[in-house]
Amino acid sequence: NAVREDPTREGLLYAATNHGVYVSYDDGAMWAELNPGLSDLPIVDLIVEEDALAIASHGRGFWVLDDIGPLRQAEPGRTDASVHLYQPAPAYRSADGARLSWWLAAEPESLMLEILDGEGNVIRTIEPRDPDAPRDRWSGASLTVQEGLTRFEWDLRTDPAATFPGMILWGVRTMAPRVPPGSYTARLTADGLTSETVVEVRANPWIEGVTVADMEAQYAFGREIQAKVHEANSAVIAIRRARAQIEERLEATDDADVREAAHNWMQKAGAIEADIYQVRNRSGQDPLNFPIKVNNRLANLLSMSERGDGAPNDGMREVFQIMIDELRGYTDQLQEVWDGELAALNAALDEVDLPAVDPWDESVILVWP
C-alpha cells in the first residue's frame, strides 16, 4: 500500500501492507514484521515524522510508534549483548521528558538507572519499586524489570527530596527541580553490567527572551528550595522514627521515669512536628480546612518557581528567605529536644536495660498515620 524511506538511516524502509507494517534494513531485499501490539489489519499509509512513525489503518484509526530510535540504531548482533542502552532523541525542557530505550538479553536480578550531569555527578537514581515498601507518589516512576526491549521516560528532574508515608501537600507538583539545557549521561546497570549513552536536553525553541543562564539560575534556585524541603521533611521523619521506637519501649516497661520522660518528649517533639507539617491532613482536600505549614509552603514555592522557563525574581527570593528563617527556628527547637528530652529519655531507658531511641535509625519503617 505504501513504502517510506527513513530520513536519517540509508536503506531503512517501512512498508504499509494489508497485514500490518514491515521494516527493511537493506533497501527492501529482506523484510521483517513490525507489529508491536498491533492487530492483523490493513495499513493504508504511513509517514516518518522526526522520531516517530505514524500509520493509518483501514477502519481502525491511526497509530503512532513514538520513538523509532532503536530501529534506526539496530545492528547485527546488538541483541546478543546482555545490556544495551540506545541513544535517545534530544529532549526538550518544556516537554514531557527524555525517552530512553534499552535491551536486556535476560531478566536481571538487579537493575538501576542513573543520570549524571556534565561534571559526572549522579543527580538521579531510579530503581524498581520495592513491592513491600509503601507507595510514594512523590518519588516518580520506577523501573520495570523484564527481558527484551524496555522504554522509560526520565522526567528531567533530579532525585526528589525526602518524603514520608501519608504526606499530603497542597499545590505541589514535584519534589525536585527540572534540569537546565545541557548534556547528561544515562547509565543503566543490570546485574553489574553497564551501558551508557548521552542525553541531550534542549531549551524550548518556541520560548524567546530566556537564556540558558536564566534556566541554570532557575535550576540552582530550585536546588536551594529542594534542600530546605528535604531538611523539613527529614525533621518530620526523624520525629516519627523516634516516636515509633518510644511506643515500642513503652510496651516493654511500666517504669515511671521512662513514662514521664517519654511524655515530655512527645509533647515537645509533637508540637514541633505540627509546626513543620500539617499533621491533621488525611485526604487531598484537608488543606482547605487546615492551614498548610512550612514544608508545604517551601514545596509550593519550588513548584511555582517552575511555572515557566526563567530566572527567579526578587519576590521569590524574599519569600524563600522568610521560610528559611521560620524553618531554622523549628529545627533549632528540635535540636534542643534531641539534646534535652531525648537524652533524658535514653538515660531512663538505660536504667531499665532497654535500647536507646535513635531518630536516624533507617531500619525503622514508617507507616501511614
**Using CB atoms within 10 A of its CB, is residue 283 exposed (0-12), middle (13-18) or buried (19+)?**
exposed
CA dihedral (360, 361, 366, 369) positive or negative: negative
pLDDT-based confidence at 352, cuts 50/70/90?
very high
278-311: pLDDT as tens digits = 999 999 999 999 999 999 999 999 999 999 999 9
Mean pLDDT of 27-55: 88
Mean pLDDT of 318-343: 98
Please tell me what DSSP assigns to residue 114. Answer: E
Answer whether 97's CB lies under 8 Å from 67's CB: no
What's the pLDDT at 61? 84
3-state helix, strand, coil in the chain (%, to 5): 35, 25, 45
Residue 357 has pLDDT above 80, yes or no: yes
Q: Give dist(CA 141, CA 5) in Å, integer.
A: 35
Residue 140 has pLDDT above 90, yes or no: no
Q: Please, which residues bridge with residue 98 across strands?
A: 154
Q: Give dist(CA 39, CA 35) in Å, integer.
A: 8
- R_g of the chain, CA atoms, integer Å: 27
142-154: pLDDT as tens digits = 999 999 999 999 9
Question: What are the CB-based long-range contacts (under 8 Å, 24+) for 138-142?
Answer: 138/163, 138/167, 138/174, 138/175, 139/163, 139/175, 140/176
The hierarchical CATH code for the domain 72-202 is: 2.60.40.1930
313-330: pLDDT as tens digits = 999 999 999 999 999 999
In degrees rounded to 5, what are phi and psi of residue 141?
-70, 155
What's the pLDDT at 131? 79
pLDDT-based confidence at 15, cuts 50/70/90?
very high
What's the pLDDT at 134? 67
Answer whether 225's CB lies under 8 Å from 231's CB: no
55-104: pLDDT as tens digits = 998 877 888 888 889 989 988 877 778 899 999 999 999 778 999 999 99
Average pLDDT, the chain: 93
Q: What percent of the chain has pLDDT over 90?
A: 79
What's the pLDDT at 367? 81
Nearest to 42 by CA among 19, 15, 64: 19
Cell of 144: 520495570
Q: Helical H runs in the chain?
A: 69-72, 212-252, 256-276, 294-304, 314-337, 343-351
Mean pLDDT of 178-203: 97
CA dihedral (120, 122, 124, 129) positive or negative: positive
Q: Give dist(CA 337, CA 269) in Å, integer.
A: 7
Q: What percent of the chain has pLDDT over 70?
A: 99
243-270: pLDDT as tens digits = 999 999 999 999 999 999 999 999 999 9
Mean pLDDT of 189-205: 96
What's the pLDDT at 24? 93
Mean pLDDT of 198-226: 96
